[in-house]
Amino acid sequence: TWTTGNVIEEQVAAIREQVGTKRAICGLSGGVDSAVAAALVQKAIGNQLTCVYVDHGLMRKGETEQVEKDFVAATGVQLKVVDAQERFLNALAGVSDPEAKRKIIGREFIRVFEQAQAEIVAEAGAGGEDVAFLVQGTLYPDVVESGGGTGTANIKSHHNVGGLPEDLEFELVEPLRQLFKDEVRMVGQQLGLPDEIVQRQPFPGPGLGIRIVGEVTKERLDLLREADAIAREELTAAGLDREIWQCPVVLLADVRSVGVQGDGRTYGHPIVLRPVSSEDAMTADWSRLPYDVLGKISTRITNEVDEVNRVVLDITSKPPGTIEWE
């Protein structure tokens, strides 16, 4: 029978066997999955593990600081932070197609990890073969929806599955590959991670890069970051965080509509709110949020975010829509 204790015991043994005396690195995204994967691997191999946090510039407001603070405080893990904002922006320049974006982001993550590996090896003064393992917080639904399951259609390439480059130099360690999100949360809790990490709402590895419909630019990211921060602030203030699974905030950068603000005509972009309820992200329903909360978010976003003159609500379940727009 399934218990979190069994899962932890089995995975710790499997990780020790796989990694042996070598070193491993783990990409931390700030999300639950990579945090729990890292904690499991740390339990198995201690400080043979170094976590790498890639700041790709596609993060939400305050997220980078949170990883540096919360996760390190909770686990004492060795953390390397890499500023890769320019690298990702350059790689994404001119790209609008969602699958192309996902593949570019997946590839750039790996390239950054390879560079980090070289630096970690150099710092440790060890041989080049020393870091051969990359830990990822891949879950069962990521595998299924990237077409890696048993005969399922490829829905989208999750950055850590279908988005990986073919010339991958690392051997992957994926201790959560058979688990669903709620199980991962239980494992995290049992490993002693704090609620701020374990109960965090899901956020995709490719970040805001797949929440801008159209080309990803610095200006658009800044704009979306503002809108997203307002939505999160109001949802938290209304006590709705535990009621919804997550609420993607999406910028329709290629769409414009006419508005009137102050005493003039505007021609701006719409922001989409996509609050959903779900058990495991495989299916989802749109959340029936109170109108006054939605109204407040709309008023604040249109008042406070330049170039946004309309806020719309996505009332599609999954299927037929996916949770993210790309």
- What residues line the site for ligand XMP (CB under 6 A)? 145, 156, 158-159, 202, 204-206, 246, 281, 318, 322-324
Q: Which is nearer to ligand XMP, 217 or 322 (CB)?
A: 322
**33 annotated as belonging to a binding site for a ligand:** yes
**36 annotated as belonging to a binding site for a ligand:** no
Q: Least distance to ligand XMP from the beta carbon of 6, Å?
A: 25
- The 10 Å Cβ neighbour count of residue 116 is 22
Q: Which is nearer to ligand XMP, 206 or 268 (CB)?
A: 206
**67 annotated as belonging to a binding site for a ligand:** no
Q: Least distance to ligand XMP from the beta carbon of 237, Å?
A: 22
> 97 Cβ partners below 8 Å, 6+ apart?
none
In sign, the C-alpha dihedral spanning 151, 153, 155, 160 is positive
Q: Which is nearer to ligand XMP, 178 or 322 (CB)?
A: 322
Q: Least distance to ligand XMP from the beta carbon of 161, Å?
A: 8
- Asked if the peptide bond before residue 165 counts as cis, ω within 30 degrees of 0, the response is no
**162 annotated as belonging to a binding site for a ligand:** no
Q: Which is nearer to ligand XMP, 202 or 259 (CB)?
A: 202
**34 annotated as belonging to a binding site for a ligand:** yes
Is there a contact between 284 and 247 (Cβ–Cβ < 8 Å)?
A: no
One DSSP character per residue, 184-213 reads HHHHHHHTT--HHHHTPPP--TTGGGGSEE
Q: Which is nearer to ligand XMP, 117 or 160 (CB)?
A: 160
SS3 216: coil
Q: Which is nearer to ligand XMP, 273 or 281 (CB)?
A: 281
Query: 129: buried, middle or exposed (CB in 10 Å: 19+, 13-18, 0-12)?
Result: exposed
**For residues 177-202, b (16+ Cβ closer than 10 Å) or e, as one string?**
bebebebbbbbbbbbebeeebbebeb
Q: Least distance to ligand XMP from the beta carbon of 33, Å?
A: 7
**317 annotated as belonging to a binding site for a ligand:** no
**29 annotated as belonging to a binding site for a ligand:** yes
Q: Which tokens hold the place of 117?
A: 């590996």
Q: Least distance to ligand XMP from the beta carbon of 44, Å?
A: 22
Crossing angle, helix 181-190 and helix 4-19, to 10 degrees? Answer: 80
Q: Are strands 257-261 and 249-252 parallel, antiparallel or unpaired?
A: unpaired
Q: Least distance to ligand XMP from the beta carbon of 179, Å?
A: 14
Q: Show binding-site residues.
A: 29-35
Q: Show binding-site residues for ATP.
A: 29-35
